[in-house]
Amino acid sequence: MKAVKALLLSGDREKIVFFAGVSRAREVYILAANYLRTLPWQDDADLAKQIATFYQKAKAIDHLVAFYESVARAEIDEFRDYDKGLAALENAIAALEKAGGGGDAAANAKLASLRQRAALVGRFVETRARLKIAPDAQASLAAARDLLADATAAARRDGDAATASVAVRPGDVYAMMIEHVYARGDANGACDLLEEMSREGVVVGPYVDDHVVAAATRDAGRTLSFLKGGGVRDSGLVQGVTLGIDGGVVDEEWSPPPPPEDFDDDDDDDA
């Protein structure tokens, strides 16, 4: 263990990965994966997969699940990519299920929480798809309203959904609805939603593109209450970045680590 700890202090990623691979010791796998998590894995698909693989080989289910949750949180909070966030949550669920999760009260609670959050994120993905097609605009908006109510309730229950758990952010649901309503030519409806969003205490800036706000207010001939006395910048709106219902600027090379394989691999001996 002294050797691997000295290697970790060196920060030589290639040597750390190599040593962990040849040692095949559970503790070394975990130490190596924990170190790799301190690196910018969000920007490196190979690194993220390596972390998941080491936790898998160590049969460190709690570490693996926590990592997948971190991946989901990064996808949703940083990139607004709910599809990849959902994939990561599903990987976490698969890891627990394959490891025989649900065998005790704590495992049951964790699995139930993951499934609940995955279901909510899945509803966001489904609702967004319905709004894009919009064969029945009213029904699609009603589904978005239901999702908003549940996302808001979850955020209030968790205290801070961005850090307490992986969840659908109410601001993203508002943004999805606003952009849909405006795209269908209802500038007044979009402004009404923007006003509601602000009244509910959801800061507009991080979620709705400033060009959408400017266009909606112009077309409706309205000045929104949270913009009075200032301009678009005073609402905290992000300048020059489009963060629409399709998500933010996402690295196309990045994808969540693959789901775990069989945890009963006899080749991976514990130390």
Q: What is the mean pLDDT of the chain?
A: 83
- Looking at 37-51, 127-141, 181-195, which range is the least confident one? 127-141
**pLDDT confidence bin for 127, thresholds 50/70/90:** very high
Q: Identify the helix (H) or strand (E) that includes residue 3.
A: helix 2-10
According to the model, what pLDDT value does residue 31 have?
Answer: 95
Residue 44 carries which side chain, given as an amino acid letter?
A: D
**pLDDT confidence bin for 166, thresholds 50/70/90:** low
What share of the chain has pLDDT > 70, as a percent? 79
Cα torsion for 138, 144, 150, 154, to the nearest 10°? -160
- Cβ 231 vs Cβ 218: under 8 Å: no
Buried b (16+ CB within 10 A) or exposed e, 195-211: eebbeeebebbbbbbbe
CB proximity list for 165: less than 8 A, separation 6 or greater: 113, 117, 154, 158
What share of the chain has pLDDT > 90, as a percent? 63
**pLDDT confidence bin for 139, thresholds 50/70/90:** confident
For tokens 């898998």, name the residue: 56
Has residue 246 got a pLDDT over 50? no
Helix (H, G, I), strand (E, B) or coil at 247: strand
Has residue 183 got a pLDDT over 50? yes
Has residue 153 got a pLDDT over 80? yes
Name the residue among 96, 16, 27 with its Cα closest to residue 61. Answer: 96
pLDDT tens digits for range 208-239: 999 999 999 999 999 999 886 544 434 443 33
According to the model, what pLDDT value does residue 261 have?
Answer: 54
Is the dihedral angle over the CA atoms 36, 41, 45, 48 positive or is it negative?
positive
pLDDT tens digits for range 25-61: 999 999 999 999 999 999 899 999 999 999 999 999 9
Q: Please list the alpha-helical segments (H only) found in 58-159.
A: 61-77, 82-98, 105-133, 137-158
Has residue 266 got a pLDDT over 60? no
pLDDT tens digits for range 66-78: 999 999 999 999 9
Residue 229 or 135, more confident? 135
- Cβ 58 vs Cβ 29: under 8 Å: yes
CB atoms within 10 A of CB 219: 15
Facing residues of 244 across strands? 247
